[in-house]
Structure 1
């Protein structure tokens, strides 16, 4: 018997709001490249696909192309142009199915972009289950007791755990079966079905579960994201620490730039760029950990294009150098040394801005301040200094 032709639909149109990040979770940098890049690389390596498309939000084309650029060329060639998604996951899946329909696949696998650990063995079990049953999904046994509760948390019952499974993706189907089910649900305006097996069940099809993979978890919360990054970084051979130091004198003005935040003050800071002493020190700390010189090596002060430049350009470049080498920034720590202005009222805004520039969660950024007990240039209110440390993981 000939092998079935198998298509792939990857669903990546969601917003990932539960993670609380500024970007949709599938595009957050994780272990050196966007999370979705890990997912796609694993799926493309798992088997040959007769057709493969990624369903994305219409606003995410630039993010998707940036993620795609981190894949090997062979993996990029295996993917068709992305498919615009709909208002719901169900609508997005149907759009993906319609996009691969021209290839006339026998079977289709539907996978969430936020599950970066699909193995060839799991994909193989999914294809076999679709061949045998028509509609199937991976399921894993529950480790915890499950309680059914009402709206106020009152326990209504304890379902027997042995009969329950947590369902994962990739979910696998004979292609005509799932396409017809999705088309019918759309025609009848049934839009509250939470996964594709539910769509098949609603259409009257019998669905089956096959053996899932406990490691094939979905990134939903920040602890999930951290766990995924740690697992993806297991092959890293070293942790590096870099330090940075910078000083700028006060000049005439009414505000200073610190950590990318404009802070009103009696003076400004003098410098070739916007003189953000903290971002300069942080960028140098990253360059130092990479052993790639300092800001001056990458942005020479003799070059007029950097005169008055916003310093976020420097920190963003340093962070991108880490990702270009397949690494990840674990932590950034900055200590501002000055008598004034007061840093405390602006600390959280500074942490958030540094995190945004470097592509991190704010929980990986520390901003502190201290005085010199009126000793030295900082004590005489002649300027501000900053000491910074970066911690990186590099292959």
Structure 2
């Protein structure tokens, strides 16, 4: 293939908690996938881009691996204390591919259109640095301390977007110069280029290529993406699953992937996660694919003691192979003990990335049988699940 001419660096080092929620915004779900999945895919799938390198925050390795599952990504590099440090680390990391051009893009901008990426790459044939942006339409006021002191002429003012493109060698030396001179607080790569006296061209960006910053941004992006996906998935189906496991000696039960300490454990060929088995059966049922026993026969020793997420992942894969996706999951656990309610948030956290659903589309409820019947006599636990799936 010769030397790769264009490398893309995806900057995802931020802890981005302004968006609310426990996880940084680049790992929150929109349209069933983490924001960063969509961002990486936009560049991985682009014919002009030869290599994609992500720069992530310290301690985000597991989140990143889960978020980019199914994408052929190079191992990420760990960023620095500031965006500037992270960009420099990312740019240095692609040196081994000897790129002629490099694109630097915010992980929190998942809507970079192929033609925008192509434009930036193309303009780099004419300029050493290219920044997409939008001319500012609003009147700008300079108001230190909240009091307007003057109106700023907006005639030549642009708001900058990413991907920002550069000739590789010149941006590397600009970053090394900033590092050597200890120039800090440069908030985008173009400012690093400007500092180094590199001419930066401004080209039209795209309105939809906005940066997701707040919880509201994430919510709207998820709504819009989900709505457009659902339009192409008009075949709505409901599936149901039921599972029951008896108690036997042990010190904990596993339900929806969460280990709950208890006087007994559940007996079963795998990890006996009744709730996850019911959920798996519901998904298989919705697509007419038999049940868990057909795909994972209890007589087969390879499934002994296996984590039920393996079964669930298989059901989701079968659904996605048909171009479908889950719309919601509703689980009811029937048990006298242990108490389930305190563990529901952890269960949702566990299921959300597997099901590619936000917490608001997963329900987990628990009830007792008022001491009636086998469940009431504490002989076991039963689980029911209903799912809605959408298919093309």
Common topology (TM > 0.5): yes
Residue 245 of structure 1 and its aligned partner are, at CA, apart by 1.0
Residue 182 of structure 1 and its aligned partner are, at CA, apart by 1.5
| Residue in structure 2 matched with residue 223 of structure 1 by the alignment | 219
| Residue in structure 2 matched with residue 202 of structure 1 by the alignment | 195
Q: 1:345 to 1:118 in 2, by over 3 A?
A: closer
Q: What is the CA–CA distance in structure 1 between the aligned matches of 2:303 and 2:147, rounded to whole Å?
A: 66
Residue 382 of structure 1 and its aligned partner are, at CA, apart by 3.6
Q: Where in structure 2 are there 5+ consecutive unaligned residues?
A: none
Q: Tell me if 1:261 matches 2:258.
A: yes
Query: 1:367-390 CA distances to partner (integer Å, 9 max, x unpaired)?
Result: 112234444433444432211122
Q: Tell me if 1:112 matches 2:111.
A: no
Q: What is the CA–CA distance in structure 1 between the aligned matches of 2:272 and 2:232, rounded to whole Å?
A: 38
Q: Where in structure 1 are there 5+ consecutive unaligned residues?
A: none
Q: 1:218 to 1:6 in 2, by over 3 A?
A: farther
| Residue in structure 2 matched with residue 192 of structure 1 by the alignment | 185
2:330 pairs with 328, 333, 336, which one? Answer: 333
Query: 1:169-217 CA distances to partner (integer Å, 9 max, x unpaired)?
Result: 1113344443332221122222422211121223344544321111123
2:281 pairs with 265, 280, 284, which one? Answer: 284
Q: What is the CA–CA distance in structure 1 between the aligned matches of 2:227 and 2:7, rounded to whole Å?
A: 25
Q: 1:278 to 1:362 in 2, by over 3 A?
A: same
More displaced, 272-281 or 26-35?
Answer: 26-35
Contact 2:375 2:381 in 1 (8 A): yes
Query: 1:119-160 CA distances to partner (integer Å, 9 max, x unpaired)?
Result: 34323442455455543322235688888788xxx6344966
TM-score, structure 1 length as denominator?
0.76
Q: 1:349 to 1:96 in 2, by over 3 A?
A: closer
Q: What is the CA–CA distance in structure 1 between the aligned matches of 2:205 and 2:121, rounded to whole Å?
A: 13
Q: 1:348 to 1:52 in 2, by over 3 A?
A: closer
Contact 1:46 1:119 in 2 (8 A): no
Query: 1:27-48 CA distances to partner (integer Å, 9 max, x unpaired)?
Result: 7776576655544543455553
Q: 1:335 to 1:162 in 2, by over 3 A?
A: farther
Contact 1:55 1:92 in 2 (8 A): no
- Aligned pair count reads 378
Q: What is the CA–CA distance in structure 1 between the aligned matches of 2:368 and 2:152, rounded to whole Å?
A: 62
| Residue in structure 2 matched with residue 391 of structure 1 by the alignment | 388
What CA RMSD, in Å, does the superposition of the two structures yield over aligned residues? 4.1
| Residue in structure 1 matched with residue 206 of structure 2 by the alignment | 213
Structure 2 SS opposite 1:121:
helix
Structure 1 SS opposite 2:271:
coil
| Residue in structure 1 matched with residue 293 of structure 2 by the alignment | 296
Q: What is the CA–CA distance in structure 2 between the aligned matches of 1:307 and 1:377, rounded to whole Å?
A: 26
Residue 60 of structure 1 and its aligned partner are, at CA, apart by 4.6
Which structure 2 residues correspond to residues 294-373 of structure 1 after superposition, within 5 A?
294-355=291-352, 358=355, 360-373=357-370
Residue 96 of structure 1 and its aligned partner are, at CA, apart by 4.5
